[in-house]
Copies of this chain bind each other. A is one copy, B any other.
Amino acid sequence: MENYSKQREEIIDIMKELYNHPTAEEIYFLVKQKDPAISRSTVYRNLKFLSDKGVVTQISVSNGPDRYDYIEERKKHGHVICTKCGRLYDFNYDLDIEKVKQNIFSQTGVEILNDGIAMKGICSSCKSKM
């Protein structure tokens, strides 16, 4: 996995346009509109490749398919998922995040990735229904 391919370029192009954390399946259908011959496994293979390369983030959510996010350097952010409705929200990093990262590093030796912050909680609309 190092060579150019038309399909990989198409996948990256689509990812750049999307801001809603699409699933592999959603990406597959969108790319398919431009390139009907593309196969599902090419999409999965490339998403894995791209997340290894740090081009996209893979967000694994409970009880559902993984979501993907194109990483823009200028927009570092974390993700929060509502455990009731499954909705995924972005949030921007603040100063305190850096302190938390350092604390975790000193406790565990793990260096948190720039996109590696994911939280679980309950969103306001779900909370109001309880």
CA distance A18 to B74 in the complex (A): 42
Range class of the A interface residue count:
35 or more
A100 at the interface (CB under 8 A from B): yes
A16–B21 alpha-carbon span in the complex (Å): 36
A121 with B112: CB separation less than 8 A? yes
Residues of B within 8 A of A60 (CB): 60-63
- A109 — nearest CB in chain B belongs to which residue? B124
Tell me if A122 counts as interface (CB < 8 A to partner B): yes
Q: List 22 A-B contacts (CB under 8 A).
A: A58-B62, A60-B60, A60-B62, A62-B66, A80-B108, A80-B112, A83-B116, A89-B107, A90-B108, A91-B103, A91-B107, A91-B108, A96-B96, A97-B100, A110-B119, A111-B121, A111-B122, A111-B127, A112-B120, A113-B120, A113-B122, A116-B121
